[in-house]
Structure 1
């Protein structure tokens, strides 16, 4: 039996309060989280994992409650780290930085991490999840860059251009046979 991963990119989040770890969801983000619950509630999800960032947890929270499950937080599912103080970075600053990091995987912003470092830690978590939950349906609350870097590990067509076409939220169904990715389907419309 194959393992199904539902990559759930968090909903829209305000960039005016808190820091990268604590900022939640906008009203649209909260409404979209309810739409994710409706979209996935009949998928029979067995296990829930998430980045420890509030916006990722909040996007999955109602779905996990509906399934009667707890969300397991995993630090290494956090977003690509852009600075050591988790300060909010404006989109105007962020997207050129992410573009640079995707073109030069070793590039590191001051106090941040490289794309290759982020990919290495996040893929290691995914492989652990696949090994421990073989044959199950698993939802992962995640972020755009992390999701793209994980998917790219298995298929190089998931690159910066793919990231820029994703939405907040977004949902991708990834089917694995053991550790091999055999199919990806976008579920969010």
Structure 2
């Protein structure tokens, strides 16, 4: 049996550069709270999206438990578009309603889900640890969870906090068994 802690990154300072967007002061404080909460969970490996805000959200935990952060491109956020998006909420809703649809230069929900699930399956298969933390992002997190169970859609995504943590259980052969939210403000 394996447990994966999917961790949506803490609040970040907006910059147009997705990869180097840092945590805000509030996000940095919440990263300490993430470490406080997960330090007792006996986590043996930490993986993260390569985006700075995701890495910063799990780095205090990594320091406390003495584990490196392993970067996994598959856990990066979905590329919404190659340019500005007029109405963010409407655009994201349409992508959830039409999983094959993609905005210009962006990823459809289907494409991003496949990428995220390949990364998750790879981590589950290769990890020697039974407890794994994964720093990631809201959209890709919701899409991976939706692929596992089918009830984590657009409204679930909208209800996620920054940060947020879901504990996912997997049985034999990586079979999904359930999810439980463990983050509470």
TM-score bin, normalised by smaller chain: over 0.9
Q: Distance in 2 between matches of 1:19 and 1:82?
A: 13
RMSD over aligned Cα atoms: 1.5
Structure 1 gaps, min length 5? none
1:130-141 equivalent positions in 2, closer than 5 A: 130-133=124-127, 136-141=130-135
Contact 1:130 1:179 survives alignment (8 Å): yes
Structure 1 position 134, deviation (Å):
5.6
Structure 1 position 132, deviation (Å):
1.1
Structure 1 position 179, deviation (Å):
1.8
Q: Could you report, residue by residue, the CA deviation over 1:3-56 in whole angstroms, capped at 9, with x for unpaired residues?
A: 0000000001122x3511111111111111000000000111101110010000
Find out whether 1:180 has 2:179 as its counterpart. no
Structure 1 position 95, deviation (Å):
1.9
Q: What TM-score comes out, normalization by structure 2 length?
A: 0.94
Structure 2 gaps, min length 5? none
Q: Which residue of structure 1 aligns with residue 54 of structure 2?
A: 56
Structure 1 stretches of 4+ with a deviation exceeding 4 A read none
How many residues are matched?
Answer: 183
**Any idea what SS the aligned residue of 2:90 has?**
helix
Contact 2:19 2:50 survives alignment (8 Å): yes
**Any idea what SS the aligned residue of 2:50 has?**
coil
1:35-184 equivalent positions in 2, closer than 5 A: 35-84=33-82, 93-133=87-127, 136-177=130-171, 178-184=173-179
